[in-house]
Amino acid sequence: MNFFEKLKTGLSKTRENFTERIEELIGGSVELDDDFLEELEMLLIAGDVGMKTTEKIMQALHKAIVKREITKPEEVMPFLKKFIVQLLQNAGQRMHLSGHPSVVLVVGVNGVGKTTTIGKLSNYYRLMGYKVMIAAGDTFRAAAAEQLKIWGARAQVEVIAHGEGADPAAVVFDGVKAAIARNMGILFIDTAGRLHNKSNLMKELDKMHRVIQREIPEAPHETLLVLDATTGQNAISQAKVFLETAKVTGVVLTKLDGTAKGGVVIAIKEELGLDVKWIGVGEGMMDFRPFQPEEFVEALFSEK
Ligand SMILES: Nc1nc2c(ncn2[C@@H]2O[C@H](COP(=O)(O)OP(=O)(O)OP(=O)(O)O)[C@@H](O)[C@H]2O)c(=O)[nH]1
Ligand SMILES: [Mg+2]
């Protein structure tokens, strides 16, 4: 199965919950009346697109109807598709990797897929020709470093780790030093995902930043927030806490396979002002790709 097929299969529940219900509405309507518009609005909200985004889409649709650019229900689907691609389209999706090394901090609450994402990213960039290293900054959870080492071995990338309970900032320090000494292109830093309260999270991230910036003042070059698509709107509230404490530069949206809440991709951009840079559609190394709006929308709106 190629990635597009995987994405399409992964999004099948989201399609049932979102696209197919909109298609049903369109198929059962003759007119673009208030009932139709109200129903469509409900379906967008139920599809985890987010309130703000739904409003924006509905306003644009209304305008198109008033201007008679759209006159029939069956014209609504192509309109939505185009509009959503436009919403997701932007220039900020590329990773900033101009450092020597570039430091990429990976944050998020527990279980969202941080460690897996670092494994996948390491492999991706190694295949692109980068020299990659990983620092196991999650010293809190038992076996976290072991899990990372397994991923490191699979991705053929070295992992800098200390024992359980060690100071994460000390691991980060060693990681940064080693990455500089060995002329690495990218250093990925894993972090603990236990449910932080805000002040603890802030303290821990501050400390890591200080350690990193002592060696590389402009780092971290990227702070990726990992969000789990299966949690839908909860992912949005989680993200807000991180946005208040860390300078997040992009989102990795994991577990798009098998969730009905894939519409959250659209909400992330509009509600949080963040770009989804990567998506995960499975547990394997290759189930991962830069987010491409057109491909995503194509998979979301494709026929079975
Ligand atoms: N189906 C699916 N599972 C995923 C994906 N990404 C990660 N997972 C799974 O989610 C689980 C948690 O992944 P981890 O990478 O350990 O998550 P984490 O954020 O590092 O978790 P903590 O270290 O406990 O905070 C694992 O079983 C992964 O295999 C994905 O894109 N799709
Ligand atoms: Mg982890």
Percent of the chain with pLDDT over 70: 98
pLDDT in tens, 60-71: 999 999 999 999
- Whether 301 has a pLDDT exceeding 90, the answer reads no
Provide φ and ψ at 27, rounded to 5°.
-60, -30
Tally Cβ neighbours within 10 Å of residue 180.
14
Kindly tell me the burial class for residue 214, based on how many C-beta atoms sit within 10 Å of its own C-beta (0-12, 13-18, 19 or more).
exposed
Say yes or no: CB of residue 257 within 6 Å of ligand 1: yes
pLDDT in tens, 243-259: 988 899 999 999 999 88
Residue 212 and residue 173: Cα distance in Å, rounded? 7
Tally Cβ neighbours within 10 Å of residue 285.
15
**Cα 144 to middle of ligand 2, angstroms:** 6
Say yes or no: CB of residue 280 within 6 Å of ligand 1: yes
Residue ranges of E strands in 154-281: 158-160, 186-191, 222-228, 250-254, 276-280
234-250 average pLDDT score: 89
Q: Which residues pair with 252 in a beta bridge?
A: 226, 278
Tokens in use for 131? 């020299």
Residue 101 and residue 120: Cα distance in Å, rounded? 19
Residue 189 and residue 172: Cα distance in Å, rounded? 7
Q: What angle do CA 288, 291, 293 make, to 5 degrees?
A: 140
Nearest Cα residue to 121 out of 95, 146, 93, 147: 95
Say yes or no: CB of residue 112 within 6 Å of ligand 1: yes
pLDDT at 279: 95
Lowest mean pLDDT among 89-103, 153-167, 180-194: 89-103
The rounded mean pLDDT for the chain is: 92
List the residue whose alpha carbon is closest to atom 6 of ligand 1: 113
pLDDT at 35: 95
Say yes or no: CB of residue 232 within 6 Å of ligand 1: no
The ligand 1 atom nearest the CA atom of 282: 32
pLDDT in tens, 42-83: 999 999 898 999 999 999 999 999 999 999 999 999 999 999
Lowest mean pLDDT among 115-119, 157-161, 192-196, 207-211: 192-196
The pTM is what? Answer: 0.94
pLDDT at 163: 86
213-242 average pLDDT score: 93
295-302 average pLDDT score: 90
Going by pLDDT thresholds of 50, 70 and 90, the confidence category of residue 280 is very high
Most distant CA atoms of the chain, gap in Å? 68
Q: Are 136 and 261 in contact (CB under 8 A)?
A: no
pLDDT at 57: 96
pLDDT at 238: 85
* 3-class secondary structure, 102: strand
pLDDT in tens, 89-128: 875 678 999 999 999 999 999 899 999 999 999 999 999 9
Q: Are 124 and 241 in contact (CB under 8 A)?
A: no
| CB proximity list for 195: less than 8 A, separation 6 or greater | 109, 110
Residue 261 and residue 227: Cα distance in Å, rounded? 12
Say yes or no: CB of residue 10 within 6 Å of ligand 1: no
Residue 90 and residue 67: Cα distance in Å, rounded? 27
